[in-house]
Amino acid sequence: MSEWFETAFDTDYLTVYGQFEQEPIWQMDCDFLMRQLRLEPGEAVLDLCCGSGRHSIELARRGMKMTGLDLSPSLIEHAQRRAAERGVEVTWLCEDARDLDVHETFDAVFNYLTSFGYHDQAGNEEILRRVYRALKPGGRFLIEKINTVWLLGNFVKTERRVYDGFTYVERRSYDARSGRIEMVREKLMPDGTVKPLPPFSVRAHLPSTLVEMLEAAGFAVGPFVASPTGQEYQPFLSPRMAIVACRPL
């Protein structure tokens, strides 16, 4: 039986979430990653769940030895074309993050824009163990997600966005038992027809839960910061959050 994330990230994804593809946004993201992970040119870095490759490509341009991993063939193909157009070299892997099988390879790994939490608890824990093994001793791992504390206090059940040729509708619900945000998505066409899109389902981890999971995987865990500004994390006011954990020497 296929899982939702195997089909959700198709060509519609790049249109519907196109705001994250704007250069000022991903430039700011990469500035944030450079600071928080203390990246230096020449370091080996893994962009885990890299999507369209925007962060991998920009960090490669800045001198990092980048690897981008994503499960979506269409997004990896898009990333490959994008890297070729910009004349930068990135190693692309089209595979499930749970299957990452390298040892002491990377100086840093990052997982950006709420792409951790797609799987069940066992799958999420397996990803953390795989990342730990993939890092060199002293390597750094950054997870960036929506801040669940803020989200639950500012929950929007229905969102509509108008694009050229259709209206995108996203209906959200929160399951308190599983801690997951469930999203039913569809495109409303000009002729009145409705085109269902693959649903989204992501675990909205509380900060304390993330810390517990990272520590259980062996990481030494640092403080949370607000992302992408790097300012002080304020649980009820910061829409997004990031945490850096390290594999001990």
Residues 194 and 114 in one domain: no
Cβ atoms of 139 and 196 within 8 Å: the answer is no
**Residues of the domain holding 170:** 151-202
Cβ atoms of 25 and 19 within 8 Å: the answer is yes
Residues 171 and 128 in one domain: no
| Number of domain units in the chain | 2
In this predicted structure, what is the pLDDT of residue 4?
72
Residues 222 and 240 in one domain: yes
Residues 127 and 185 in one domain: no
In this predicted structure, what is the pLDDT of residue 1?
58
Residues 37 and 111 in one domain: yes
Residues 172 and 209 in one domain: no
* pLDDT tens for each residue of 178-231: 999 999 999 999 999 999 998 999 999 999 999 999 999 999 999 999 999 999
Residues 221 and 116 in one domain: yes
CA-CA distance, 184 to 197, in Å (whole number)? 8
Residues 160 and 233 in one domain: no
Kindly state the average pLDDT of the residues 119-130.
97
- Taking 80 as the threshold, does the pLDDT of residue 8 lie above it? no
* pLDDT tens for each residue of 27-83: 999 999 999 999 999 999 999 999 999 999 999 999 999 999 999 999 999 999 999
Residues 133 and 178 in one domain: no
pTM for the model stands at 0.94
Residues 25 and 113 in one domain: yes
- Taking 80 as the threshold, does the pLDDT of residue 14 lie above it? no
- In this prediction, residue 12 has a pLDDT band, given cuts at 50, 70 and 90, of confident
The DSSP secondary structure of 34-77, one letter per residue, reads HHHHT--TT-EEEEET-TT-HHHHHHHHTT-EEEEEES-HHHHH
SS3 at position 241 = strand
- Taking 90 as the threshold, does the pLDDT of residue 119 lie above it? yes
Cβ atoms of 182 and 199 within 8 Å: the answer is yes
Closest CA to 122 of 213, 183, 209, 204: 213
Instruction: Output the average pLDDT for the chain.
Output: 94
Residues 226 and 140 in one domain: yes
Which residues, including other chains, have CB under 8 Å from residue 248's CB and lie 6 or more apart? 137, 138, 218, 220
- The structure tokens 């038992």 sit at 177
In this predicted structure, what is the pLDDT of residue 20?
67
* CATH number where 36 lies: 3.40.50.150
Residues 51 and 95 in one domain: yes
CA-CA distance, 112 to 143, in Å (whole number)? 6
Question: How are beta strands 220-226 and 194-203 bridged, if at all?
Answer: unpaired
